[in-house]
Chains A and B, each alone.
Chain A
Amino acid sequence: METVKVQDVAVDDLPWTIEYHSERCTLCGSCLASCTFGAIKPVVRRQSVTVSEGNQPKPAHRQIARTIIEQVASFANACRGCGMCERVCPNHAIRPVRNPDNRRTLLSRDSGPIKRGGRTNLNAQRTLDKIIVGRISQMTDPSLDAQRHTFDMRAPLGRVLSARELPFSMTDGHITMTHKAPPVRWIYPLIFSDMSIGALSTRAWEAVAMATAYLNERCNIPIRMSSGEGGMPVKLLESEHLKYFIIQIASGHFGWNRIVKALPRMKVDPAAILIKIGQGAKPGDGGLLQAEKVAPHVQAIRGVPKATLSSPPNHQGLYSIEESVQKMHLSLNAAFGFRVPVAIKCAASSTSVSVYNNLLRDPYKICGGLFLDGIQGGTGAANEVSLDHTGHPIVSKIRDCYLAAVRQGLQGQIPLYGGGGIGLTGNAAADAFKMICLGANGVFCGKILIQLLGCVGNEHGRCNSCNTGKCPTGICTQDPRLVKRLDVDRGAQKIVDYVLAFDSEMKKLMAPIGNSSLPVGRSDALVSTDKAIADKLGIQYVC
């Protein structure tokens, strides 16, 4: 009987196996050069071949040594299914194939918890797809024309006062302001969210930033981009374009040394400051940038040595919501002269309504927005156990928060933004529209932006290697050779085109319900084919 070493990792233990046709292979080497994970290697193998080369059939049997491509049987070099080899192969000789019988989750914890990027691969259920825009203007009132009518698609970001609190005085039948109210920006209801320089390659971040500027300056779409927790280039901080950016501060305060130093030289105010308490993909866990990605320019911008950068799970020294309002909100408001809204981003949680209630009751009226991030949000790096097993779906949570405000008559005072899985199926406009009808003022998205740039990762275990520094699309890596794979201009154009389509699609959803302003909280426009979802969200069940 043959001896078999069953403890050795074999190719069929890996989540992806390489399907290789040596007869089509020309040994050009492109696949090897394209694979960033070292998942394949050239080997010389003995092959037996039978050939007949004369005028008459005269088969001859020979043993030859031949170079072929072979998959590496190791979890460190496991094929991620990114398919770069297939893209570059001129002869369709190689491609990754999903291996349903793999033993990855059992065998790949040799050096601690599994780490990866991307989204949850376990909780990708789609509540939003069981909701339909079901209240259509049919004879009761006219539908609008998405092409002909004008639409006022803007969302507030900033603390909104109740009408009685407005600093108004009346003179000669006119209202005037006696003093300033808290700053509120009216922005596009889609925000590019929180991917740092570091998590993204500088060029990928630049592509998103270019798309942001283009949409603002050429398309009249006042979209805003959040910096993520990694600082911003000083030139951008000191430029007129800063107004399109939301600067994030998270528990590691990365990049804030430069931001604070740039304050006196800022020509314009940023769109907002976003205090990140947590993120949906790995709630209760701080940011994580593995040493592989801490390149010299990342070290410079963040002011750190080359080491794995873990933001703490909490902001140091904060212990309650009230304290956060007093310390962080007030000090950040003060730093920007009370001219810039300061919002907060939390991972959705069973406790989100308590947080929202507390913020709504803050006497300083200082919280300019609550960003709630659901379990389907993406990340550059996290423990897989966090990604797959912690978090909270976003849809009902946004609804709960909105209705909590409704019960107190405080809806709209702290704008609600929902994220985490927006555009998971590629249809961000439908997702955004439904979230808005349920009470969100707007939505934020990150993962689909990098997918537009070329990221091939998905919720079914494809790639998700953002943490390794080996991103095969040059988006989530700081390796200059890989970054070259990303065409910044074409990437930015993809994002612009997508947002323009998003804009048209939003109109296509607003028009049939007869609205030219965003239907925030217009839950009567939605129906659900799922009774449990309908009951939970307080919308009509239909079948």
Chain B
Amino acid sequence: MMCRIGAIKSKNPVQPSMALRLMLPQQEGHDNSGFAMVMQDLYGVFGLYKDKPLLSMACTQQGGHLVEEYMDAHRFVKMSEWLPVPDKRKGLNIQTMPYYIFRTYDYPEYVTDPDEREALLLDTRLALRQMLTETGQGYIYSFWPDVLTLKEVGDPMDIATYFHLWDDNGCLVAKNIIVQSRQNTNYEIIRYAAHPFFLQGYTLCANGENTFYTKNKEFQSSLFRGYIGFESDSQTFLYTLHYVLHELKWPIPYYKHVITPLPFSEIEHREDKDVLLSIRQSLAHLEINGPNTIIAGLPDGRMMTCCDSKKLRPVVVGGDENTVAIASEVCGINEILPDRDTSKDIYPDEREIVVIDNDLEVKRWKQ
């Protein structure tokens, strides 16, 4: 499939309408079937609660109750809540859920260690997800400090109208937004199948078809308890990113070596060939071998992008001194940053990994 994907990283907090303007020009034909975004480094209504885990969910009334009961029973303390007031005008192309809940909690007092907190947030999200899936009462997208996820099925323009995202009302504001405007039209429409996907601070969206999906999935299923779902073939990219950076704690450039290893003929001539061969053979099942572009956000706010080893799916990075945008097609960046110096746009090649740090400095590594 060919999702259009994008990301904005700005020194000045921005609102979702900018993400929409990044995405809409990239629309082609009938592929605008959903809208999903992950916002990180929040201002607006959640600006005061940056260190508190924020739960993003869509559910029925009963689902809401179930979650509240669970959170109370596990001694999470509710801090704040923001419920979007929807625009329910007729004729909008959106498949709504009854409630959209964004709520911050304080950690239970018995957990203070940062690693234990990370684990607890994941386990809580997994438990809530299982509960809501079994009862059919809703969807949990993320539960993490300073991270908000909104996903829905329908026309992105209409979804934005429904949630008043065009209004720039100052409620949802963030320095980092990763966005995608298509549901998974090739397969069953499942809300969990829409990118961006989120896991313990890592956010990722990808386009293209993951031809090694089966291999990736079979390998990841036993690697880490958070690697679940697999509703989309692109989730595996997130899990590999999480595994390489969070679990193995390898430096970022090695992610590229894992997913698109160098050909043996090139490895042979490298000084670090022992390392590269070891990675290639130990993580052979995490290789991707189809057409893909990846845009990801890291827990510390940095963003990264890279594409497949044949550059079958392109990606562009462009920006000015205050904002950098990444998009699968340049027309989106032209829309939101028309006055930037386009000669400085970066078209990462098939061997490159590009990271944008929090000062908007761009680092590029060649594999």
- Are A514 and B278 closer than 8 Å at their CB atoms? no
Please pick, from B212, B222, B243, the residue contacting A522 in the complex, using a CB distance under 8 A: B212
Q: 1/0 per position for A384-416, CB-CB distance to B under 8 A?
A: 000000000000000000000011110110000
B214 touches A523 (CB 8 A): yes
Nearest-Cβ distance from residue B31 to partner chain A, whole angstroms: 13
Determine whether B342 belongs to the interface, using a CB cutoff of 8 Å to chain A: no
Interface residues on A, range: 35 or more
Given contacts A160-B281, A166-B282, A177 and B274 within 8 Å (CB-CB): yes
Q: Is A476 among interface residues, defined by CB-CB distance under 8 A?
A: no
Answer whether residue B334 sits at the interface, using C-beta atoms and an 8 A cutoff: no
Q: Does A242 contact B (CB under 8 A)?
A: no
Any chain B CB within 8 A of the CB of A141? Answer: yes
CB-CB under 8 A from A142, the residues of chain B are: 291, 312
Contacting pair A140 B209 (CB below 8 A):
yes
Residue of A137, A175, A177, A184 near B211 (CB, 8 A) is A137
Find the A residue at minimum CB distance from B1: A140
Which of A140, A149, A160, A519: most chain B Cβ within 10 A?
A140
Q: Are A516 and B310 in contact (CB under 8 A)?
A: yes
Which of A184, A411, A513, A520 is in CB contact (< 8 Å) with B277? A184
| Smallest beta-carbon distance A407→chain B, Å | 7
Q: Is A278 an interface residue (CB 8 A)?
A: no
A100 at the interface (CB under 8 A from B): no
Known contacts A170-B250, A175-B275: does B222 contact A517 (CB below 8 Å)? no
Chain B residues with Cβ below 8 Å from A150 are 263
Once the chains are docked, how many angstroms separate the CA of A177 from the CA of B276?
10
Assess whether A141 is in contact with B250, with CB atoms less than 8 Å apart.
Answer: no
> What's the nearest-Cβ distance from chain A to residue B250, in Å?
6
- Asked if residues B277 and A175 are in contact (CB atoms below 8 Å), the reply is no
In the bound complex, do residue A141 and residue B222 qualify as a contact, i.e. CB atoms below 8 Å apart? Answer: no
Interchain nearest-CB distance for B256 vs A (Å)? 13
Interface residue? B223 (CB, 8 A): yes
Does the CB pair B208–A173 fall under 8 Å? no
Chain A residues near B243 (CB-CB < 8 A): 163
* In the complex, A168 has a CB within 8 A of chain B: yes
Q: What 0/1 readout, one digit per residue, does chain B (264-296) give for beta carbons within 8 Å of chain A?
A: 100000001011011101111101011100000
Q: How near does chain B come to A369, taking the closest CB pair, in angstroms?
A: 12
B277 touches A186 (CB 8 A): yes
Tell me whether A230 is interfacial, beta carbon within 8 Å.
no
Contact A164 B285 (CB under 8 A): no
* B218 and A175 contact, CB distance less than 8 A: no
Instruction: Judge if B162 is at the interface, Cβ distance under 8 Å.
Output: no
**Structural contact, B215 and A521, CB atoms closer than 8 A:** yes
Question: Chain B residues in contact with chain A, CB under 8 A?
Answer: 1, 186, 208-209, 211-215, 218-219, 221-223, 243, 248-251, 253-254, 261, 263-264, 272, 274-275, 277-279, 281-285, 287, 289-291, 309-310, 312
| A interface residue numbers (CB < 8 A to B) | 137, 140-142, 144, 149-150, 152, 154, 156, 160-166, 168, 170, 173-177, 180-181, 184, 186, 406-409, 411-412, 513-517, 519-524
- Closest 7 A-B residue pairs measured CB to CB? A409-B222, A141-B209, A524-B214, A173-B251, A163-B282, A140-B209, A160-B281
Contacts A/B (CB < 8 Å), 27 sampled? A137-B211, A141-B208, A141-B209, A141-B211, A141-B290, A142-B291, A144-B310, A152-B264, A156-B281, A162-B282, A166-B282, A168-B250, A168-B275, A170-B249, A170-B251, A175-B272, A175-B279, A177-B274, A184-B277, A406-B219, A409-B221, A412-B284, A514-B290, A514-B291, A515-B211, A519-B289, A522-B214
